[in-house]
Structure 1
Amino acid sequence: MLDLSLDFLYRQAFVPLRPISSDVDLTGKTVLITGANVGIGLATSKILAQHKVNRIILGVRDMPKGENAKSELTKLHSGINVEIWPLDYDSFENMSAFCKRAESLDRLDITILNAGNKPIHYAKSPTGHESTLQVNHLGTSFLSLLLLPVLTRTAHMNGNASRLTIVSSEVHFWTPFDERHADSILEYMDQPDTFSIPWRYNTTKLFNVFWTRELAARTRAVDILINTVNPGLTWSDLHREDNTIVFRIFRTLFARIAEQAGHAVVDAAVVQPQDTHGAYISEQKPSP
């Protein structure tokens, strides 16, 4: 664990994340991003806009914030079509309707599932599941499954693989994953007395990696290139509940700005080659 921590601090402080090549042209492509109205999602959207993507669909829970994000994006690229779609990870019905709407798209080239949460106290989602588990794992996985048909159809239409990138985190390394001993892991994690910080968030990020690997194993890379990316510790609203002095100092010293994290996400979703199907991408390269 100490080796992991020291390596993490070194990379946060001294390994820069590079912008993708200016030659990358996304003209004509449609991108869908969740959690896109603030932080890493918004930074990612801005980078994509600068590469002339034709249409960006922002899946957001807060529609006014989504409209603010739309205004920022259209200032970067006047020809971009930005659509704001309501999306609530705490409702399977809402997510189903969102994906049903996506089926009507003429194309969907790139999907980035970025939305996440990191509560510091136990909370139950309206679905009945613990909130971190619901948003970070169940909601993300549910959306990834329901969006496969339109991604596959786009790939067949274009003769090129579509892309699906799930935003995970390096902290998936840092969990004892004691939940694996339970008879039913998900039922166990829904119990209030099993909730702890930071392990719950870390474990759900581990699930992102597990899910990506398994989904990729059941999907052809020539149809959809699926990977998961670590953007690193970033200044974002994700950490808004953690106001301890220790964490604030740590974040000040080591956190990346959102634009840097956006470079990592765009690299995974746009640039990484076909052999990264199912891979965990960190510092813009596959990592075991």
Structure 2
Amino acid sequence: MGMTRLLRQPFSHPALPSVSFASRTIIVTGANVGLGHAAAAHFVRLGATRVIATCRSESKCAATLAGIEEAAGRKGVVQVWELDYSSYASVQAFCARADAELDRLDAVVLNAGVATRIYEVAEEDESSLTVNVVSTTLLAALLLPVLRRSADRFSSENNLTVISSEVHQWAKFPERDEANIFGSMSDPKTKTMAERYPASKLLQVFAIREIAARTHDSTPFVTVNMVSPGLNKTSLTRSTKGLEAAVIKIVNALLAWEPDVGARTLVHGVVAGRASHGVLLDHCELENDALAPWIETDEGRRLQRKVWAELERKLEAIRPGCVAAMEGKEA
């Protein structure tokens, strides 16, 4: 994020949300800790009828449920479902369950993500790419038809919000001209783990902008947007070590928001409305400088098409027909 914005952050808290979510059903992924946990509590506090909070393992579900209910002061609203972004089978099972069990779905907040310097492979790609890019996009593709069906049934204004980051601007992205971008970024011999989180967020921005463009004329309309939630005291950077970890700890202590404050931006993303379709929201502002300016140049559009072409092949290999269904077309 910009230095000026960062230095102002401790003195510019987003407003406490007061909009009613009565009768609404909302999914929040990555809700066992941090922003997801706090956002789920906000939705419960604001009257949501049903909040589906996700965590990676069954062992964490009970603690997640208890923590959200305690923070929100309401019981009987939250359900905790298992969802592991590092497994495409888990993603598909989760979406199938949502399709089968949720008679209504008003909003989805795709919050889960990973920031790591440790090279690991999940499915066929480096884990950051699998979690932050492929699985996030797969969830969007599989849940958009559920949101659209619910919007049609209840005449509701539905929304899919992806938690992104302004740090995508930091990505050097040396793999941009490779014939196989995902393959090159996943090659252990050429890995650039020091900048992997910004790079994965850049690819994520490309993917969500493309989804927004492809669903712009879908009926019923579902708003697809992104949120840059600012700097928050979460466990996202827990894999950092040494001097870097010490610097992050100091910066967080001085400038970062508590999760309850940062999560207000997630709630805002859900109610930002049609004008936010395809937009990267920042500090609850529609007009901002969070998006890297070059993304909207000819070069940015070229790279977005290139990244999407690779990503679409991956999605179709995982779930044939999911892209057409996402766009509201017959598979």
TM-score range, shorter chain: over 0.9
CA distance in 2 between partners of 1:140 and 1:101 (Å): 17
CA distance in 2 between partners of 1:8 and 1:192 (Å): 36
Equivalent residue number for residue 15 of structure 2: 18
CA distance in 2 between partners of 1:115 and 1:179 (Å): 25
- Residue in structure 2 matching 1:223, options 211, 221, 224: 221
TM norm structure 2: 0.81
**Cα distance change on mapping 1:90 and 1:130 into 2, 3 Å:** same
Query: Please, which runs of 5 or more residues in structure 1 have no aligned partner?
Result: none
SS at match of 1:238: coil
Deviation string, structure 1 residues 130-185 (Cα, Å, up to 9, x no partner): 01111111110111101111100011012122110000111011112222121111
Q: Name which of structure 1's ranges 46-55 and 243-252 shifts more when overlaid on structure 2.
A: 243-252
Structure 1 position 254 matched with structure 2 position 255: yes
Equivalent residue number for residue 117 of structure 2: 120
Structure 1 position 42 matched with structure 2 position 40: no
CA distance in 2 between partners of 1:210 and 1:262 (Å): 23
- Residue in structure 2 matching 1:238, options 225, 236, 239: 236
Residues 127-146 of structure 1 mapped to structure 2, 5 A cutoff: 127-146=123-142
Equivalent residue number for residue 6 of structure 1: 3
CA distance in 2 between partners of 1:58 and 1:172 (Å): 26
Structure 1 position 86 matched with structure 2 position 82: yes
How many residues are treated as equivalent by the alignment? 281
Q: Name which of structure 1's ranges 11-20 and 166-175 shifts more when overlaid on structure 2.
A: 11-20
SS at match of 1:194: coil
RMSD across aligned positions (CA): 1.7
CA distance in 2 between partners of 1:119 and 1:35 (Å): 16
Q: Name which of structure 1's ranges 65-74 and 86-95 shifts more when overlaid on structure 2.
A: 65-74
Is the 1:156–1:223 Cα contact (8 Å) retained in structure 2?
Answer: no
Equivalent residue number for residue 183 of structure 2: 187
Residues 45-84 of structure 1 mapped to structure 2, 5 A cutoff: 45-75=40-70, 76-78=72-74, 80-84=76-80
CA shift for structure 1 position 218? 1.2
CA shift for structure 1 position 268? 0.6
CA shift for structure 1 position 36? 0.6
Deviation string, structure 1 residues 32-72 (Cα, Å, up to 9, x no partner): 11101100100101111110101111121132322112113
CA distance in 1 between partners of 2:97 and 2:173 (Å): 36
Equivalent residue number for residue 174 of structure 1: 170
CA shift for structure 1 position 273? 2.1
